[in-house]
Amino acid sequence: MEIVGWIIVAVAVVVAAYLLRRPAAPASDPAALQALETVSRHLGQLQSEIGRLSSANAEMRQDMQRGRETSLLQLAQATQGIRGELGLAQKALAEVKAIEQGRARQMEAAADSIKRLEAVVAGSPTRGAAGENILARALAQLPPDLIEVNVAFGNKVVEYALRLPGGRYLPIDSKWTSVGALERLETVDDPIERKRLVEQIGRDVRARIRDMAKYLDPERTLELGLLAVPDAVHIAAPEVHGDGYREGVLVVPYSLTLPYVLALYRLVARFGASVDTDQLSSHVRGLVECLRKLDEEVEGRLSKGLVQVQNARDSLRDHVGLAQRAANRLLPDTEPVEEDERRPNPQVALFR
């Protein structure tokens, strides 16, 4: 609006300068009068335009003021909302940080616990006992009458044995082995070194399999044993499982020992009553031999003995007859008793 005012002032100055420079004309000159009227009219129109522009400018200023106030109010409200959201975000971030710190403390505590457990379990004097404790906890879920502890097989004693139908046993042993190799296997990336460690684990497990095979007594077991090892050992050396099976030893992880034991017991209970053909043939041959000897005894000495007994009976009967006749002769008033006619015995004539 100030610019418009300055424009009006500049126009007025120009008109005044023009009028001053123009030569003076008589007052009665109609052309001059007409020019003055025209200038005056244009000045009035310009003044009215300036007034209209002033009012428009004032309205525009008011609108701008109201818009600015509204914008400032909205901006203040938005700022307040952003501040509130930032406060909530900071609070949530603080909670997440506290949770993460608590989790970090828990992880540290867990790591310390694992280290202590590793120190107890992985130590050579105690790792075998720890493995037996894990196995004992798994087998404790079975009925007590199915598990026997420290069973002797020859000069070897196995920690646990499962009583099977038919009076036989399933030896179960625990071997905590290859701890050092497993620890290095987790940290080594070199393929050659990893292969060497895996082969070492396999050798250790094979040695335990050979020890376990010594428990397989053909008379007291099904020539099958169960060797429980740590799960990591079972996973690291899968090719050893076939070697163990050929030796009559099933290599199972600690986590699956109980399912294996239950499955084997169920199989033996269901199909273990089937007759061993070799043993059956041996027993049948023995029975046939016993029957042959019995027949020889019946047809031999027993038959001869029976014939001799029958001959002795007939001979005694003859002597009794003679004695009766002699006694009858000694009695004069008694009529003689007729002798019984006896049939000849062909067997008597045969063996006399």
**Does 252 share its domain with 135?**
yes
Q: Is the Cβ–Cβ distance between 281 and 289 less than 8 Å?
A: no
**Does 285 share its domain with 261?**
no
β-pairing, 156-163 vs 147-153, is antiparallel
- CB-based burial, 79-118: b 16+ in 10 Å, e otherwise: eeeeeeeeeeeeeeeeeeeeeeeeeeeeeeeeeeeeeeee
Domain closes at, from 274, 307, 328: 274
Averaged confidence pLDDT in the chain: 76
Domain closes at, from 274, 290, 315: 274
Q: How far apart are CA 352 and CA 348, in angstroms?
A: 6
**Does 139 share its domain with 233?**
yes
Give a yes or no: residue 303 inside a domain: yes
Give residue 119's pLDDT. Answer: 45
Mean pLDDT over 53-80 rounds to: 85
What size, in residues, is the chain? 352
Residue 136 belongs to domain with CATH number: 3.40.1350
Mean pLDDT over 303-309 rounds to: 78
Give residue 272's pLDDT. Answer: 65
Residue 317, C-beta contacts closer than 8 angstroms, at least 6 positions apart: 342
Give a yes or no: residue 100 inside a domain: no
Place of tokens 């244009």: 42
Q: Is the Cβ–Cβ distance between 154 and 211 less than 8 Å?
A: no
Place of tokens 């007729």: 338
**Does 216 share its domain with 335?**
no
Q: What is the pTM of this model?
A: 0.44
State yes or no: pLDDT of 158 exceeds 60: yes
State yes or no: pLDDT of 292 exceeds 80: no
Give a yes or no: residue 96 inside a domain: no
For residue range 101-143, list pLDDT tens digits in order.
888 888 888 776 665 555 444 444 445 455 567 777 878 888 8
**Does 51 share its domain with 16?**
yes
**Does 183 share its domain with 255?**
yes
For residue range 43-58, list pLDDT tens digits in order.
777 778 877 888 888 8
Give residue 346's pLDDT. Answer: 44
Residue 243, C-beta contacts closer than 8 angstroms, at least 6 positions apart: 206, 209
Give residue 118's pLDDT. Answer: 53
Number of domains in the chain: 3
H helices then E strands: how many in the chain?
Answer: 11, 5
In one-letter notation, the amino acid at residue 106 is Q
Q: In the chain, pLDDT over 70 holds for what percent of residues?
A: 76
Give residue 352's pLDDT. Answer: 42
| Greatest mean pLDDT among 7-16, 90-99, 183-192, 314-323 | 90-99
Tokens standing for residue 340: 């019984």
Q: Which whole-number Å values give the CA distances from 67 to 53, 70, 76, in the listed order?
A: 20, 5, 14
**Does 42 share its domain with 181?**
no
Q: Which of 4-18, 48-62, 162-176 has the lowest mean pLDDT?
A: 4-18
Give a yes or no: residue 328 inside a domain: yes
Q: In the chain, pLDDT over 90 holds for what percent of residues?
A: 0
**Does 259 share its domain with 311?**
no
Helix (H, G, I), strand (E, B) or coil at 143: coil
Give residue 208's pLDDT. Answer: 87
List, as one string, the DSSP characters of 214-262. TT--TTTB-S-EEEEE-HHHHHH-TTHHHHHHHTTEEEEEGGGHHHHHH
Question: Which range marks the domain in which residue 315 is found?
Answer: 281-351
**Does 213 share its domain with 255?**
yes
**Does 267 share its domain with 309?**
no
